[in-house]
Each structure stands twice: as structure tokens, then as C-alpha cells.
């Protein structure tokens, strides 16, 4: 069998970048999807150095046409998609009473609607070959809630619901659908936090440290493997114990 093909959305930086690199190291051909990713030569060179085929697809998750065209390009060039990692996500935080409609809409569109549309693009092929892995990156706050993030929490909680619904629909075709829920991870999103706020946050983390992007990537790599064939509809928490 030729190498399995994985598509990773939001692959340009942070957790998505580490997931793309981890899957390359595991032997997958990887499609890195993100806005302007074709210009990210450093990442593409790093991925190619790990072996296998690498394809970059500029994908705007606010546009259904862009999502459809991106997956069509991947299928045309690589012939199949075995694994989909819905990693892309944005925040537009604010108190619910003052939240702007566009901030609600954009977060739901990118974090939830686009993930569903991406699933629709890969499911026909996975159903035909009777094997597939869909892995949705959610968040600890989807399980615990968080003040000031009504839009983000709703989008990620919705993604957990989508994960469980699709897991039941797709199980007869040997397609597993799971979620990984990161806690506070050392990425660009957390680098902007003040030291005082980080200290307060870490007080709620039993392991007393931020997680690393490669620790999220390791969870994804496992769920994408044959070893995880009897796990579906599961939310794998990678959060240092901050929510149990």
C-alpha cells in the first residue's frame, strides 16, 4: 500500500505545525492547509526533509469554495486522504453581553462550520476504502467553560458533539472520529499573556507547567495510528490535570 495521506488544517504554526511534522516523521504524506501556507518555505523544507510527499494548500476556512477546492487539489495530487486533523481555530474573546455579531460568527465559522465541511470532503473516500481517521482539536474550555469566551467555548463544545455524532455514523465503515482537548499550551496564543496571569493559570494545573505543542502532536499521532483502531467518539484530554 502507498503511504497514507493526512490533511492538517491550521498547519502553519503552533500545534498544527507540530502535528504536521509528527505525521511526516511517522511516514505519512502530509497536506498542510492554512491561509498563505504556500509561502511558508521553512516549514515545507522541514517537512520534506523528513521524507514522504508534502503538499501545501492555501485554504481560507471562511470560504466553503476554498475548502472544497483545497481538498480537491489534495485528492488530485495525492489520490487519497486517510486522516483529517481539524486543528485550525481562532479566538475573538469578549463578554457575552457585549460580543459583536461578527466575532461570534467568525469563531463559529472557522472552528466548527469549516471542520464539518472538511469532514464532508474526506468522508466519501474514507467510506469507499473502509478506513479513516478524523481527529478534531478541541479545548479544555469546551468541557469546563470559560468566562469571556462564549463563542470559542460554544464552537469547541459543538466540535465535541460533532465528533461523537460522526463516530456513531462512521463506525460501521471502520472510520474512527476522536477529539484531542489541549489545556494551556506554550504557543503564540499563550506567549502574549502576562507573567502574573500565567502564574494564576498554572495554579489550576496540577503538573504546574504549560504543555508543549509536541505533546498534543503525540496524542494525534497515536489516534491516527492502527494502534487506536478500537477508540472512537473519545475526547483525549492533554491538559496537565487541570480538568478531570
Indicate the domain borders of the chain: 5-237
Residue-level pLDDT at 197? 87
Beta strands in 53-198 (DSSP E): 54-58, 83-86, 132-137, 175-182
Residue-level pLDDT at 193? 82
Residue-level pLDDT at 47? 95
Q: Is 230 a catalytic residue?
A: no
**Closest C-alpha among 55, 119, 115 to residue 90:** 115
Ranges in the chain, pLDDT < 70: 1-2
Phi and psi at residue 10, in whole multiples of 5°?
Answer: 65, 40
In a 13 Å sphere around the CA of 4, the CA atoms on its Cβ side amount to 20
Strand 132-137 vs strand 83-86: parallel, antiparallel, or unpaired?
parallel
Kindly report the CATH number that applies to the domain delimited by 5-237.
Answer: 3.40.50.720
Q: Please write the tens of the pLDDT for every residue from 217-228.
A: 999 999 999 999
- Which of the 8 DSSP states describes residue 237? E
Residue listed under C-alpha cell 467553560: 145
Q: Are 218 and 161 in contact (CB under 8 A)?
A: no
- Which of the 8 DSSP states describes residue 177? E
How far is the C-alpha of 228 from the C-alpha of 179, rounded, in Å? Answer: 13
Q: Are 12 and 187 in contact (CB under 8 A)?
A: no
Strand 54-58 vs strand 83-86: parallel, antiparallel, or unpaired?
unpaired
Q: Is the pTM of this model over 0.95?
A: yes
Residue-level pLDDT at 190? 81
Q: Please write the tens of the pLDDT for every residue from 141-158.
A: 999 999 999 999 999 999
Kindly name the residue from 152, 156, 176, 185 that is annotated as catalytic.
152
Amino acid at each position: 500500500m502507498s503511504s497514507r495521506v493526512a490533511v492538517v488544517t491550521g498547519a502553519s504554526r503552533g500545534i498544527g505545525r507540530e502535528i504536521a511534522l509528527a505525521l511526516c516523521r511517522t511516514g505519512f504524506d502530509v497536506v498542510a492547509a492554512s491561509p498563505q501556507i504556500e509561502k511558508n518555505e521553512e516549514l515545507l523544507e522541514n517537512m520534506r526533509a523528513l521524507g514522504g510527499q508534502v503538499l501545501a494548500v492555501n485554504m481560507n476556512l471562511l470560504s466553503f469554495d476554498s475548502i472544497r477546492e483545497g481538498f480537491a487539489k489534495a485528492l488530485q495530487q495525492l489520490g487519497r486522504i486517510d486522516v483529517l486533523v481539524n486543528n485550525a481555530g481562532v479566538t475573538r474573546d469578549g463578554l457575552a453581553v457585549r460580543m459583536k455579531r461578527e466575532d461570534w460568527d467568525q469563531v463559529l465559522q472557522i472552528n466548527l462550520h469549516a471542520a464539518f465541511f472538511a469532514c464532508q470532503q474526506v468522508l466519501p473516500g474514507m467510506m469507499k476504502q473502509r478506513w479513516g481517521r478524523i481527529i478534531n482539536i478541541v479545548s479544555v474550555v469546551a468541557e469546563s467553560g470559560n468566562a469571556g469566551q462564549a463563542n470559542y467555548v460554544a464552537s469547541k463544545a459543538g466540535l465535541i458533539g460533532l465528533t461523537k455524532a460522526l463516530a456513531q455514523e462512521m463506525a460501521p465503515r471502520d472510520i474512527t472520529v476522536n477529539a484531542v482537548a489541549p489545556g494551556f499550551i506554550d504557543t503564540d496564543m499563550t506567549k502574549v499573556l502576562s507573567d502574573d496571569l500565567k502564574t494564576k493559570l498554572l495554579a489550576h494545573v496540577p503538573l504546574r507547567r504549560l504543555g508543549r505543542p509536541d505533546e498534543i502532536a503525540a496524542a494525534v499521532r497515536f489516534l491516527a495510528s492502527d494502534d487506536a483502531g478500537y477508540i472512537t467518539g473519545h475526547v483525549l484530554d492533554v491538559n496537565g490535570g487541570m480538568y478531570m
